[in-house]
A and B are shown apart, each in its own frame.
Chain A
């Protein structure tokens, strides 16, 4: 077998690269889980299940709903690209960006309230700011990713047979939603 043959066979195996990409992304997400787990456990270690009375429960529930809505729009965007419906992809991924920005607005509001009632110098406040800050950082990076694939998708960079970029970014966005599913009860309900 010559070097050229090996090279050609490698490129003929079209299933290899998406699988490797997907596995790599899952390994990254798995490593992120450890990061969030450390921060979540720090909250219980420092303050147990203590919650300040001043927590804005309705705001937290509202932004939880918005993030959930952004997750379904992200799913619809990915599905649209999978079925080669580019216009729908642009609409749904733009919706994801808008909902993500609204979520961030809510986070800014809750952080402002937190500085008044439970600042970072308090035990609960330190856990609160760490978790909300870590999650907000992931939302911002997710928004950047979604914005990039939206622009690229609108320009025809992706199609039904080549949409790994969209799939990867949307999976990351769903992970951000998954992290909030744990953070929300940890800070507001438990």
Chain B
């Protein structure tokens, strides 16, 4: 492996890592908001409805960013 190739690999690693960290931050933020929403509307009937978007968003982030589901149909992963 040449020196140039190692540099390219490190750059790729840095980019891929950053994408993962950003996804993790999004999940963490959504989890905290989810927790806050739960405490705000704890005894309200629409709590499940209010929390559902957070579950769906977090699930999709994991499927897309971490599990690369789009690679199944030829996405860029």
Contact = CB atoms under 8 A, between A and B. Distances in A.
B4 to A, nearest CB: 15
A80 B58 CA distance: 24
A71 interface: yes
A178 B9 contact: no
A79 B48 contact: no
A162 B46 CA distance: 49
Nearest to A80: B13
B31 A85 contact: no
Contacts of A49: 47-48
Given A22-B71, A64-B31, A174-B67, A71 B62 contact: yes
Specify the main secondary structure of chain B where it touches its partner: helix
Interface size, B (range): 20 to 34
Interface stretch (A5-13, A135-143, A182-190): A182-190
Contacts of B66: 71, 74-75, 174, 177
Contacts of A82: 13, 16
Contacts of B24: 68-69, 71-72, 75
B16 A83 contact: yes
Interface string A166-190: 0000010011011001100100011
Interface of B: 9-10, 12-13, 16-17, 20-21, 23-24, 27-28, 31, 34-35, 38, 47-48, 51, 54-55, 58-59, 62-63, 65-67, 69, 71-72
